[in-house]
């Protein structure tokens, strides 16, 4: 491997991607000069931990500081300059201009290689009244400190979280856990748009079960001061459909946009999604400048489209890859699957790859299955169902995406499925995966294996599927819903208009079923109704299995 000596590397942004690039660069080049410029007061801090610091789960602010300029100097011999903003790049002379934020002093530095890891800034759309001292974004430690200062004096505060992305949900959870009255307002019909609506519905249920006031489909149109008739507070959050929500504090979780002004002003190419455009080596259109993290566009591993991914894993890995490339170790960042996970009170929701919306947008044909397997062997205490959705190609069975929600075991299934996506696996491969099993951890057929097998059943023609959202549009003259659950389960609720024949009685009662109709069979999770489908198909009936069955349908329609 070629060794590079005496290079001068400058890194803009000293948190996830920047700090990772700097440390890797030092490991590859002991005698290079490495300078990190960070606009804020902290480097290498755990921004992902900020909500838990606000909520008190992380009690000590210092534990968010993974490194300091002094520790980075001691361990990696890095020259870290905090409170110093890079304000201009002169590509022709390979120099940058910086400004010290406290003194206003400006000076220049030259570089042989430059890495931009400028991140993404919270979106603040021009909603009237959005700027207010009690309206907070959550990006860095000073933001969290401001929210903490507000929460300290507040006993039964009313917080309105605007935006149901993962930062909004994590903040809602943490503020609710502190005993505050919390409302989540979301403009679209669901929270967490990487999830399909029926999967996001589990999150809606969990928010409501924890007394979070969830308002969907209702954008904020203004923030106003309270009138004389309204309860005192910081502001009134005015929604499109007329509600006026008194708030002592507002958390703005409206998403982020890449910080690209430095790059754009320097004439670096900006892509169609508004991020810095880089090649597979994370190099911009200037061969001396690399860019990583939330500020860049990356290729979606399923659709092939350019996309923006604001996640710590990609940023950290990209930092390492950029440093590799600068110091003679060619490495590539090929694509992303947007693998993400969020905890919301008692449940965990994880996703990887494409969802239905992104597949439709990219015109990629897909099939979807829903399952509700147990997190571990059902006979061992503590097993919990996982709502698992897997999307795959109807011809090859290639895995396209997965989503999972549940109380236990979601993280490892999503990570297995993310690994399978990276390895370009099919659902046939999922059925064959050899996964660790003992009763406290899994099942002899792990949920991932079961997903593969259920998908194979569809591809083999052993069963056809109906989706939860088809039920509302069925014409009873053509299609009937057949409930094959036990009487005790049906007593707790049923699909209106459905026929009830428990699975174990089905073979003896086939003559009760009209032969001129199609049937959609369902049970609680879709497994017994699959067995029913096999009985009916082999007896000449036209039948489909309601994938995910009662659990998916009843949760989704709430």
By annotation, the residues acting in catalysis are: 48
Smallest gap, in angstroms, from Cβ of residue 55 to ligand FAD?
A: 12
Please select the residue that binds ligand FAD; options are 9, 10, 11, 12, rule is CB under 6 A.
12
Q: Please give the Cα distance from 529 to 526 (Å, whole number).
A: 5
Is 38 one of the binding residues for ligand FAD (CB under 6 A)? yes
Stretch that binds ligand FAD, among 13-21, 198-206, 475-483, 499-507 (CB under 6 A): 13-21
| x-or-dash string of contact with ligand FAD, 101-120, rule CB under 6 A | ----------------xxx-
Contact 104, 76 (CB under 8 A): no
Total residues contacting ligand FAD (rule CB under 6 A)?
A: 32
| Location of structure tokens 């001292």 | 133
Is 532 one of the binding residues for ligand FAD (CB under 6 A)? no
Smallest gap, in angstroms, from Cβ of residue 96 to ligand FAD?
A: 9
For ligand FAD, which residue has the nearest CB? 293
Smallest gap, in angstroms, from Cβ of residue 160 to ligand FAD?
A: 17
Smallest gap, in angstroms, from Cβ of residue 258 to ligand FAD?
A: 9
| x-or-dash string of contact with ligand FAD, 152-171, rule CB under 6 A | ---------------x----
Q: Which strands form 465-466's sheet, in the order they lie side by side?
A: 465-466, 542-546, 518-522, 479-483, 499-500
Contact 321, 282 (CB under 8 A): yes
Tokens coding 430: 């999922």
Is 377 one of the binding residues for ligand FAD (CB under 6 A)? no
Closer residue to ligand FAD in complex, CB, 259/300 = 259
Is 138 one of the binding residues for ligand FAD (CB under 6 A)? yes
Is 311 one of the binding residues for ligand FAD (CB under 6 A)? yes
Is 13 one of the binding residues for ligand FAD (CB under 6 A)? yes
Q: How far is CA 151 from CA 112, 163, 212, 237, in A?
A: 46, 20, 17, 19
Smallest gap, in angstroms, from Cβ of residue 98 to ligand FAD?
A: 7
Q: Which of residues 485-504 bind ligand FAD (CB under 6 A)?
A: none
Q: Please give the Cα distance from 63 to 45 (Å, whole number).
A: 9
Within 13 Å and on the Cβ side, how many CA atoms surround 16?
23
* Residue length of the chain: 558
Please select the residue that binds ligand FAD; options are 50, 161, 182, 282, rule is CB under 6 A.
50
Closer residue to ligand FAD in complex, CB, 157/295 = 295
Smallest gap, in angstroms, from Cβ of residue 164 to ligand FAD?
A: 14
Stretch that binds ligand FAD, among 216-224, 273-281, 312-320, 363-371 (CB under 6 A): 312-320
Closer residue to ligand FAD in complex, CB, 25/262 = 262
Closer residue to ligand FAD in complex, CB, 38/297 = 38
Contact 301, 422 (CB under 8 A): yes
Tokens coding 88: 């201009």
Interior/surface letters 207-227, b for 16+ CB within 10 angstroms, e for the rest: beeeebebbeebebeebeeee
Stretch that binds ligand FAD, among 278-286, 309-317, 418-426, 485-493 (CB under 6 A): 309-317
Is 139 one of the binding residues for ligand FAD (CB under 6 A)? yes
Is 15 one of the binding residues for ligand FAD (CB under 6 A)? yes
Q: Which string of DSSP letters, residue by residue, matches 42-102?
A: -SSB-GGGHHHHHHTSS--GGGGBS--HHHHHHHH--EEE-SEEEEEEETTTTEEEEEETT
Q: What is the DSSP letter of 248?
A: S
Closer residue to ligand FAD in complex, CB, 85/112 = 85
Is 37 one of the binding residues for ligand FAD (CB under 6 A)? yes
Closer residue to ligand FAD in complex, CB, 13/163 = 13
Please select the residue that binds ligand FAD; options are 9, 51, 254, 550, rule is CB under 6 A.
51
Q: How far is CA 500 from CA 265, 495, 512, in A?
A: 67, 10, 11
Q: Which of residues 234-263 bind ligand FAD (CB under 6 A)?
A: 259, 262
- Identify the H or E element spanning 359: helix 356-361
Which of 454, 376, 448 is CA-nearest to residue 417?
Answer: 448
- Identify the H or E element spanning 37: strand 33-37
Which of 38, 69, 110 is CA-nearest to residue 259?
Answer: 38
Pairing, β 113-116 against β 8-12: parallel
Smallest gap, in angstroms, from Cβ of residue 41 to ligand FAD?
A: 9
Closer residue to ligand FAD in complex, CB, 167/506 = 167
Q: How far is CA 250 from CA 147, 185, 237, in A?
A: 10, 10, 8
Question: How wide is the angle at C-alpha 357 spanned by C-alphas 417 and 429, nearest 5°?
Answer: 25
Please select the residue that binds ligand FAD; options are 22, 40, 190, 200, rule is CB under 6 A.
40
Please select the residue that binds ligand FAD; options are 109, 206, 294, 300, rule is CB under 6 A.
294
Is 275 one of the binding residues for ligand FAD (CB under 6 A)? no
- Identify the H or E element spanning 372: none
Is 313 one of the binding residues for ligand FAD (CB under 6 A)? yes
Q: Please give the Cα distance from 287 to 195 (Å, whole number).
A: 38
Smallest gap, in angstroms, from Cβ of residue 305 to ligand FAD?
A: 19
Contact 333, 279 (CB under 8 A): no
Q: Which of residues 161-220 bind ligand FAD (CB under 6 A)?
A: 167
> What is the number of other CB atoms lying within 10 angstroms of the CB of residue 467?
20
Which of 65, 54, 62 is CA-nearest to residue 15?
Answer: 65
Please select the residue that binds ligand FAD; options are 89, 278, 315, 420, rule is CB under 6 A.
315
Q: How far is CA 416 from CA 9, 342, 413, in A?
A: 37, 17, 5
Q: Which of residues 69-88 bind ligand FAD (CB under 6 A)?
A: 85-86
Smallest gap, in angstroms, from Cβ of residue 56 to ligand FAD?
A: 15
* Interface residues toward ligand FAD, by CB under 6 A: 12-13, 15-18, 37-40, 47-48, 50-51, 85-86, 117-119, 138-139, 167, 259, 262, 293-295, 310-313, 315
């Amino acid at each position: 491997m070629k060794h590079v000596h005496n290079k001068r590397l400058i890194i803009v942004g000293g948190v996830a991607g920047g700090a990772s690039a700097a440390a890797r660069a030092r490991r590859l080049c002991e005698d290079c000069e490495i300078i990190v410029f960070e606009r804020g007061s902290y480097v290498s801090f755990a921004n992902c931990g900020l909500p838990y610091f606000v909520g008190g789960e992380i009690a000590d602010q210092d534990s968010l500081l993974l490194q300091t300029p002094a520790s980075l100097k001691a361990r990696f011999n890095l020259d870290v300059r905090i409170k110093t903003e890079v304000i201009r790049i002169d590509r022709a002379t390979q120099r940058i201009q910086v400004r010290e934020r406290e003194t206003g002093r400006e000076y220049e530095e030259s570089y042989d290689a430059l890495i931009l890891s400028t991140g993404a800034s919270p979106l603040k759309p021009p909603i009237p009244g959005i700027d207010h001292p009690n309206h907070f974004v959550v990006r860095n430690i000073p933001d969290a400190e401001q929210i903490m200062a507000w929460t300290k004096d507040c006993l039964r505060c009313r917080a309105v979280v605007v935006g149901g992305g993962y930062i909004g949900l994590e903040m809602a959870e943490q503020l609710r856990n502190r005993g505050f009255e919390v409302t989540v307002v979301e403009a679209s019909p669901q929270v967490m748009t990487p999830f399909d609506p029926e999967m996001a519905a589990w999150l809606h249920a969990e928010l409501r079960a924890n007394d979070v006031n969830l308002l969907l489909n209702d954008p904020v149109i203004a923030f106003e001061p309270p009138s004389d008739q309204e309860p005192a507070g910081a502001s009134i959050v005015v929604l499109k459909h007329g509600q006026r929500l008194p708030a002592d504090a507002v958390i703005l979780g409206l998403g982020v946009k890449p910080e690209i002004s430095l790059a754009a002003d320097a004439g670096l190419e900006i892509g169609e999604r508004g991020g810095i455009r880089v090649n597979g080596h994370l190099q911009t259109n200037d061969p001396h400048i690399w860019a990583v993290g939330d500020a860049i566009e990356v290729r979606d591993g399923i659709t092939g489209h350019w996309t923006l991914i604001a996640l710590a894993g990609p940023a950290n890995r990209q930092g390492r890859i950029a440093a590799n490339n600068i110091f003679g170790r060619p490495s590539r960042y090929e694509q992303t699957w947007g693998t993400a996970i969020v905890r919301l009170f008692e449940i965990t929701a994880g996703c990887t790859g494409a969802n239905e919306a992104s597949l439709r947008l990219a015109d990629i044909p897909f099939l979807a299955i829903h399952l509700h397997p147990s997190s571990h062997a059902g006979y061992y205490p503590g097993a919990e169902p996982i709502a698992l959705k897997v999307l795959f190609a109807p011809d090859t069975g290639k895995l396209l995406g997965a989503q999972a929600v549940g109380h236990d075991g979601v993280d490892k299934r999503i990570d297995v499925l993310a690994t399978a996506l990276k390895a370009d696996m099919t659902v046939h491969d999922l059925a064959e995966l050899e996964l660790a099993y003992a009763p406290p951890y899994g099942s002899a057929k792990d949920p991932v294996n079961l997903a593969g097998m259920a998908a194979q059943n569809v591809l083999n023609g052993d069963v056809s599927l109906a989706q939860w959202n088809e039920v509302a549009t069925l014409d009873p003259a053509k299609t009937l819903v057949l409930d094959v659950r036990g009487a005790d389960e049906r007593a707790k609720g049923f699909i209106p208009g459905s026929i009830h024949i428990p699975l174990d009685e089905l073979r003896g009662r086939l003559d009760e079923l009209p032969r001129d109709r199609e049937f959609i069979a369902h049970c609680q999770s879709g497994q017994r109704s699959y067995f029913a489908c096999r009985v009916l198909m082999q007896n000449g009936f036209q039948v489909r299995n309601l994938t995910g069955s009662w659990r998916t349908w009843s949760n989704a329609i709430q």
